[in-house]
Amino acid sequence: MGKKKVIQKSGEEASSKGTAARSGTSGKGKARKVQEGNVYIKASYNNTMMTVTDVKGEVLAWASSGSLGFSGPKKATPFASSKIVAAVAERLKNTGPVDIHVIVKGIGSGRDSAIRSLPNHGFNILSIKDATPVPHNGPRPPKVRRV
C-alpha cells in the first residue's frame, strides 16, 4: 500500500460542487403533495413490513419492525405493527396521501393491528384487499414412508 495522493481544491470549486450535490431531496426534485395512494402491508410470522406508494406505484415511504429496532420474536407482534404505522405517518405528514387503498399480504399477527391503527393516524381507508398468496395444490407430496 503506497501513500495516498491528496488533491487540494480552491475554496470556490469545493463550495460550488458541495451545494450542487445537496440541493433538493435525494436529487429527484421537490417533494410533491399526493392526495391518494396505496398502502402495502406484508405480515409474516417473523416480521411486518409496510410500504406507501402513490397511484403510479412510486414508493413514498416504507418501514419494517426490524428497521425500527425490534428484534427477534418481537418483530411480528401487533405492538410493533402499530409502531410501524406511526413511523410511516410521521414521514408522510406533510406530503403523503390521505385517501389510501390497503393491500394486505400474509398471515402474521400484526396485520389486523396495522389496519386498525391507520385511521388513528389520519388516513382515510377507501378499500381493503387481501392479496395473500394461496397455493394451487402445490408440489407433489413425498412417497409414503416404508419401515
d(CA 86, CA 38): 16
Q: If residue 129 lies in a helix (H) or strand (E), which one and from where to where?
A: strand 124-130
Dist. CA 50–CA 71, nearest whole Å: 17
pLDDT at 32: 80
Rounded to 10 degrees, the C-alpha dihedral 53/49/88/112 comes to 100
Query: Given this model, what pLDDT does residue 147 score?
Result: 87
Max CA separation in the chain (angstroms): 82
Cell numbers given for 69: 429496532
- Which domains occur in the chain, in start order? 31-130 (3.30.420.80)
CB–CB of 32/45 below 8 Å? no
Say if residues 59 and 51 touch (Cβ distance below 8 Å).
Answer: yes
Q: What is the pLDDT along the chain (147 residues), one digit of tens a residue?
A: 567 777 777 765 555 554 444 333 454 556 688 999 999 999 999 999 999 999 999 999 999 999 999 999 999 999 999 999 999 999 999 988 999 999 999 998 999 999 999 999 999 999 999 999 998 888 898 999 998
